[in-house]
A and B are shown apart, each in its own frame.
Chain A
């Protein structure tokens, strides 16, 4: 299996395995968190932090996009990079519509099992039953996003937003300043894309773009004087910054644990302080959620050395494979979570819990392995890319399975 992992051979290759590892972990967490009633979900990040796997996924997706499309921008120009971004967004759109059809079928299937149509009528859960044609149209317009199908539309919107922002990767301060202005506008003016049923998108792309673009800035490696790409510059180590990040994450952990495990302790703080906790919204990425994930990334980036030996060890391998092939693994994970929910609807006892999580993990690793194998087979033999680069020839853009 480890032979399929890119950049795992010699140390000192350009690929940052830490990013792949944490992306793999985030992808598996998203699968787990998309199955309510899954006991493994009690062990994921959301229980001890203001942020969860969604923030990690968006940040790392931004990182991968900055790396891949930034490189495409420098080698082939904006038009080419923009076209590949839109092609990727199109692929995601098709995947989303496919998953939407799966969702509709799932609701129909479990409604049939329920044998209690009165209950369904009460819930109004099924817009298909009420207005099927309108529901279909709204889904195509991304204005109708059923439960658990809200991350892909966000991802699509973020990739489209990256098209005009791409040239600004070379001027990161300006890019982040503009991005912060849009974020503030989204939060203060309730700027959001519309939702058919009520309000706006569950994940407001105008707010979440700040995290995505921060990731893109971190992932972009400017070409050096010799035209070769270096390692993306890291945020330098500062004692006070580490202290601040630790304090922030500790505060988040205490707040979450107290609120859910010992709520009576909140009686010790003024009611207004407690109410602030209730207003930490995920929809428009509350600032505390934003800084929490950035703090976590900063600490992990400095705690785990780039060339840590365990990154090349056996336990890390499955997650590296998943992380290196984010798109197919993500879409498969969302699809498998439908099956997982149906399985837990039948029985949510121990054996089924174990079966769902093990089968899910195995399937996601298998998807990563197949994608890696396919990519290896498709590459020119004998380090063709390196040879082409050395000869100053154009190098093909990153494979479609790895970028963003």
Chain B
């Protein structure tokens, strides 16, 4: 029975494989992780005005290390996804990240950049350095509270992004208090949180992307795929946040 079916299945795989490789594969994520939970009014206004400037700040992960090239990093992929979806809108994605900066340093970078050229949407990835180095949780929270207040005062939207999931990190650093604090901060300020930790954990569990278990020759491809999945997840989160903002405007 099984043997008889096998050649047919192989044929099917052979026919489908090239087509699947050619276009972006959708990453499967639990829908509750892509729920914004908060509106993005400034983003909706900017898109209606046909020009959205997005500022991405954070540590090394926003630069897409280990990818095949700059265009494979998730901020660049996000820009491509947004542009393909809304052709009439000019999307500008500015990335400001440095290896090993903590939340306060990222906050300073953010303030500096906003003073230079205001963005309507800020994507802030943080928490990894604090968790790895065991920095004080309340210092991270204070820096976030200050930074998010400043973004709101500038009339922009913010989205927080929590650390990247890794089994190694989970076993060797106490990440949970920082993840919990980020969720609390996002909820308190009513800004969406891209739960990258839970998303990446889900992708690893469902064997969609598992950077730590990828063999060396496939590592670059897996990193590209991870960045693509992150961009898709962020795009979905932004769509949800924009929809919430439009709902609020209507009511």
A residues engaging B (CB < 8 A)?
Answer: 36-37, 106-107, 110-111, 113-116, 118-119, 122-125, 145-148, 195, 197-200, 202, 258-260, 263-264, 266-267, 271, 274-275, 277-279, 281-284, 341-342, 344-345, 348
Contact assessment for A283 and B138 in the assembled complex, using a CB-CB cutoff below 8 Å: yes
B190 within 8 A of A: yes
Which residues of chain B are within 8 angstroms of A278 by Cβ–Cβ distance? 141, 145, 181, 184-185, 188
Contact assessment for A114 and B190 in the assembled complex, using a CB-CB cutoff below 8 Å: no
B133 within 8 A of A: yes
- Residue contacts A-B, CB under 8 angstroms, 21 given: A37-B167, A107-B172, A110-B172, A115-B216, A123-B132, A123-B169, A145-B134, A148-B174, A198-B136, A202-B134, A259-B184, A259-B187, A263-B187, A271-B189, A271-B190, A274-B189, A277-B187, A278-B141, A279-B141, A342-B171, A345-B170
CB-CB contacts of B118-148 with A at 8 A, as 1s and 0s? 0000000000100011111111010001000
Contact assessment for A122 and B65 in the assembled complex, using a CB-CB cutoff below 8 Å: yes
Contact assessment for A283 and B188 in the assembled complex, using a CB-CB cutoff below 8 Å: no
| Known A36-B175, A124-B132, A345-B167: A271·B137 in contact at CB below 8 Å | no
Residues B160-203 near A (CB distance < 8 A)? 166-177, 180-181, 183-190
CB B124 to nearest CB in A, in angstroms, measures 15
Q: Which residue of A lies closest to B102 (CB)?
A: A198
Q: Which residue of A lies closest to B138 (CB)?
A: A281
Which residues of chain A are within 8 angstroms of B25 by Cβ–Cβ distance? none
| Known A263-B37, A282-B137: A122·B187 in contact at CB below 8 Å | no
B92 within 8 A of A: no
In the assembled complex, the Cα of A146 lies from the Cα of B136 at a distance in Å of 13
Most chain B beta-carbon contacts within 10 A, residue among A37, A123, A259, A279? A123
Contact assessment for B190 and A266 in the assembled complex, using a CB-CB cutoff below 8 Å: yes
Contact assessment for A146 and B134 in the assembled complex, using a CB-CB cutoff below 8 Å: yes
What is the interface size of chain B, counting residues whose CB is below 8 A from a CB of the partner? Answer: 44
Contact assessment for B176 and A36 in the assembled complex, using a CB-CB cutoff below 8 Å: yes
In the assembled complex, the Cα of A277 lies from the Cα of B171 at a distance in Å of 28
Contact assessment for B38 and A264 in the assembled complex, using a CB-CB cutoff below 8 Å: yes
Which residues of chain A are within 8 angstroms of B189 by Cβ–Cβ distance? 271, 274-275
B99 within 8 A of A: yes
In the assembled complex, the Cα of A36 lies from the Cα of B165 at a distance in Å of 12
B245 within 8 A of A: no
| Candidates B171, B173, B183; contact of A345 at CB < 8 Å | B171
In the assembled complex, the Cα of A125 lies from the Cα of B166 at a distance in Å of 13
Which residues of chain A are within 8 angstroms of B219 by Cβ–Cβ distance? 116
B155 within 8 A of A: no
| Candidates A37, A147, A264; contact of B134 at CB < 8 Å | A147
Most chain A beta-carbon contacts within 10 A, residue among B66, B172, B174? B172
| Known A264-B38, A266-B190, A278-B141: A283·B136 in contact at CB below 8 Å | yes
In the assembled complex, the Cα of A244 lies from the Cα of B57 at a distance in Å of 44
B220 within 8 A of A: no
In the assembled complex, the Cα of A107 lies from the Cα of B185 at a distance in Å of 30
Residues B78-129 near A (CB distance < 8 A)? 99-100, 128
Q: Which residue of A lies closest to B139 (CB)?
A: A199
Which residues of chain A are within 8 angstroms of B221 by Cβ–Cβ distance? none
Contact assessment for A267 and B190 in the assembled complex, using a CB-CB cutoff below 8 Å: yes
Which residues of chain B are within 8 angstroms of A148 by Cβ–Cβ distance? 174
B212 within 8 A of A: yes
B243 within 8 A of A: no
Beyond known contacts A123-B169, A124-B132, A278-B188: 13 more, CB 8 A cutoff:
A123-B173, A125-B132, A146-B134, A197-B134, A198-B133, A198-B134, A202-B136, A266-B188, A266-B190, A267-B38, A277-B187, A341-B172, A344-B167
In the assembled complex, the Cα of A123 lies from the Cα of B219 at a distance in Å of 18
B60 within 8 A of A: yes
CB B166 to nearest CB in A, in angstroms, measures 8
In the assembled complex, the Cα of A96 lies from the Cα of B167 at a distance in Å of 25
Which residues of chain A are within 8 angstroms of B184 by Cβ–Cβ distance? 259-260, 277-278
Which residues of chain B are within 8 angstroms of A263 by Cβ–Cβ distance? 37, 183, 186-187
In the assembled complex, the Cα of A124 lies from the Cα of B60 at a distance in Å of 13
In the assembled complex, the Cα of A277 lies from the Cα of B180 at a distance in Å of 12
Which residues of chain B are within 8 angstroms of A113 by Cβ–Cβ distance? 168
In the assembled complex, the Cα of A197 lies from the Cα of B134 at a distance in Å of 8
In the assembled complex, the Cα of A371 lies from the Cα of B238 at a distance in Å of 57
Q: Which residue of A lies closest to B131 (CB)?
A: A147
